[in-house]
Structure 1
Amino acid sequence: MRRTLNLLLRDMLLAAVCMLALPGLAANVCGHGDSLLNPQAIAPGLGGTGNLAIRPGIGGTGNLALEPGIGGTGIVGVITGFASICVNGVEVHYDDATPISDNGIAIRAGVLEVGQLVVVQALGNGDELQARRVALLHLAEGPVDEVDMVRGELRILGQTAHWSARPDQWASMRPGAWVRVSGYRLGNGELLTTHLQPASAQAQVQLTGVAEVRGGNIRIGTAVISTSALGFWEVLRTWWAAAGGKELHVQGEWNGERILANNVRIQPTRALLGTMGRVVLEGYARNAGNDHIDLGQGAIALGGTVSAAQREALLRDPEQRIRVFGSVDASGHWIAERIEIRDTPAAHVGRASGPATGGPGDPRNGTAPSPGSMPEPMGTTETAKSPGEPSGSSGKPRAK
């Protein structure tokens, strides 16, 4: 009996391998065949590699090793599902050897969840890539200052964070509780939460965002960043970066009004991306012009392939989520080659940390999503929503 079962399992495995090796079955499944649940969280080592792991290639990269690309592709966006991982509609394959980090600390793949903001270095070009490394990026980590369930808002480190969640999730949220916030920054500097994770209290808070000099202080949102504990050259570098409106990652002590910084990283997202030949970025424009756009990581020049209609749409409504496909020139400047208008803030809802479940609230079953589900990219101009992407709605965040 045991021998018969072994033979049956062997035949099933061989059949599966043959099917996966068929050319037509390696297509990008993000948006129509992906899952809200990370398979690595259930059975570490059994998921995440996708079809490419068993195909011929170099170091497990499969056919992508043969695809064109200069320096690889850098991706910045929110995880929307697991086929391997789906970020910005791109399927990114990874395996047990892929380095995955959280604030420089190595983590296992099972920690990844829908809604988390990631920065990915990948090999290949197109809508299926192989990850070289993956890094989680949190917009804020620290104690909650205020909770406003009616408005769907939290205050954390001087930032307003919009969060659509179930009543039971709000009930567990209290001032003083530590959380880690992932998501997008809106054009007005407020946070659109796509993943909220409870955290244990730490000696230092962390905040990432575009800095500015206002009222004689460096500010990220409404939080003042004090540089008095930094060295002379670090102070100069930080003030220079803030005056130029650059992205900063700040660690330090929070007193309710300001962060006494003891460590500042300038342009952390770009540093995590490294030297890439191409980029796929998603976010909200903090400013836009006829020849440039900025999603918070620095200026992106609009290339000649960006249509006049797209440029006009960017200027007409700054509060819209966009996806940028671009290249990186020899000097490291980002150049947008194609732009997709994804949605406005009103189409977003947030997601709390924890396993996703199916059922009536699962956005992939065609019924209305439950509160607290993943935000939905809804296409508006020139681009339709990818089939199967999650959907949702919430009140539009107020402008300040």
Structure 2
Amino acid sequence: MALVPAQAAPVCVDAGQGPSAEAGGVGGTGHAPGEGGGIGGTGARLGVVGVITGFGSLCVNGLRLQYDSSARISENGRDTGAQALAVGQFVSVEVERTGDALLARDIGIVQLLEGPLSASPEGGRFEVMGQPVRLLPDAQVQDGGRPLQPGDPVKVSGMRAPGGLVHASRIERAPALELASVIGDVSHDNDVPGIDGLPVEGALGEAAESPTRQLLARGRWDGRVLRILETRMDPSLRFADRVNNVVLEALVSGRLDDGSLNGCGLQVVGAAAARLRGLAASDLLDVRRVRMTGHIAPDGRFVAEELDARLRGQPEPVR
């Protein structure tokens, strides 16, 4: 196994330990949504979306998420088991609060790209099915003990920046991969249908059902185009209509004060008393890694009650 050196992971806390700067200030005890805690009291439902930083329970966004055999675990919408979970994966977790514990009821592993490498990795830059991929500074690369080569099937977990570039938190060799897949915005470059520029053939649907307006397409890659066998909504925020609040890690660009801030396929606006950490509302952000606590409004906007821009592992500038 070859690992890119990782920076220190954020502190992993229980729901009742109070706000934590390392955890992005998402603690709090018994606050109802909108009252400043962001988690809610016993019985509250919460969505936690971000990178796995540790185990001994599941550590995501600085929160300790407990889970047992009753939790549903899936990978790009297909059922799997706990053995599939790994540090560095980007996951989407539906959580229920019980006392000071956060119990994961539904854990979804999100792989932005599944398919063959189309170029030799160079200096933290990869290419999968023609799509450029950049490694985040704290990314992990699981190559199975030998260097990755063009044609090797891989899974890429991480975040897309506004504009579509993939920033990977984990890349792993996937020798048993049967079908390729991609998650992103539907595009029409030069009248050629695609997903964030990756050419596809076949019906594109269901994107409108996702809060992010993004789509997961799965099929066979022929070296030029992904021939679609199945589509489904982006699984990242599949629980949006069932949870009180969401703790979301994302790459964002734009300004909060003029309504141009966006990330994870969502427009981001600040709540009336939003708490900002490491930025001002007038700051122009350019692919900044942030952690946000808030809710998804009926019009699809993410209303941030707290936004923390002090996260480690910021992406390298794209040249």
TM-score by length of 1: 0.61
Unaligned runs of 5+ residues in structure 1 are 1-23, 33-65, 349-395
5 Å matches for 1:1-400? 27=17, 68=41, 72-124=45-97, 128-149=101-122, 151-163=123-135, 171-200=146-175, 202-227=177-202, 230=203, 246-285=213-252, 287-289=254-256, 290-291=258-259, 293-306=261-274, 310-313=280-283, 316-329=284-297, 334-343=302-311, 347=314, 396-399=316-319
Q: Secondary structure of the equivalent of 2:226? A: strand
8 Å Cα contact 2:253-2:288 kept in structure 1: no
Taking the aligned partners of 2:145 and 2:167, their CA distance within structure 1 comes to 16
Aligned-residue offset at 1:223: 1.1
Corresponding position of 2:30: none
- Cα RMSD over matched residues? 3.8
Corresponding position of 1:45: none
Higher helix share: 1
Aligned-residue offset at 1:107: 2.7
Aligned-residue offset at 1:180: 0.6
Residues 397 and 127 (structure 1 numbering): CA distance in 2 closer, same or farther, change over 3 Å? farther
Aligned-residue offset at 1:325: 0.3
Q: Out of 84-93 and 328-337, give the one that drifted further.
A: 328-337
Q: Which amino acid aligns with 1:259?
A: L
8 Å Cα contact 1:72-1:121 kept in structure 2: yes
8 Å Cα contact 1:277-1:328 kept in structure 2: no
Taking the aligned partners of 2:296 and 2:43, their CA distance within structure 1 comes to 9
Taking the aligned partners of 2:76 and 2:142, their CA distance within structure 1 comes to 31
Q: Out of 159-168 and 192-201, give the one that drifted further.
A: 159-168
8 Å Cα contact 1:141-1:179 kept in structure 2: yes
Higher strand share: 2
Q: Which amino acid aligns with 2:124?
A: G
1:353-390 superposed Cα distances (whole Å, 9 cap, x missing partner)? xxxxxxxxxxxxxxxxxxxxxxxxxxxxxxxxxxxxxx
1:301-352 superposed Cα distances (whole Å, 9 cap, x missing partner)? 3222236853223xx222210111002446665311110003486x46xxxx
Is the radius of gyration larger for structure 1 or structure 2?
Answer: 1
Aligned-residue offset at 1:171: 4.9
Residues 169 and 397 (structure 1 numbering): CA distance in 2 closer, same or farther, change over 3 Å? farther
Q: Which amino acid aligns with 1:153?
A: R
Aligned-residue offset at 1:267: 3.6
Aligned-residue offset at 1:265: 1.9
Corresponding position of 1:60: none
Residues 250 and 105 (structure 1 numbering): CA distance in 2 closer, same or farther, change over 3 Å? closer
8 Å Cα contact 2:47-2:245 kept in structure 1: yes
1:102-151 superposed Cα distances (whole Å, 9 cap, x missing partner)? 233333323321101111001129985211111111111001100132x2
Aligned-residue offset at 1:85: 0.8
8 Å Cα contact 2:95-2:102 kept in structure 1: yes
Taking the aligned partners of 2:168 and 2:141, their CA distance within structure 1 comes to 14
Taking the aligned partners of 1:169 and 1:113, their CA distance within structure 2 comes to 14
8 Å Cα contact 1:67-1:125 kept in structure 2: no
Q: Which amino acid aligns with 1:96?
A: S
User: Could you tell me the percent identity over the aligned residues?
Assistant: 24
8 Å Cα contact 1:91-1:129 kept in structure 2: yes
Residues 218 and 268 (structure 1 numbering): CA distance in 2 closer, same or farther, change over 3 Å? farther
Taking the aligned partners of 2:253 and 2:147, their CA distance within structure 1 comes to 32
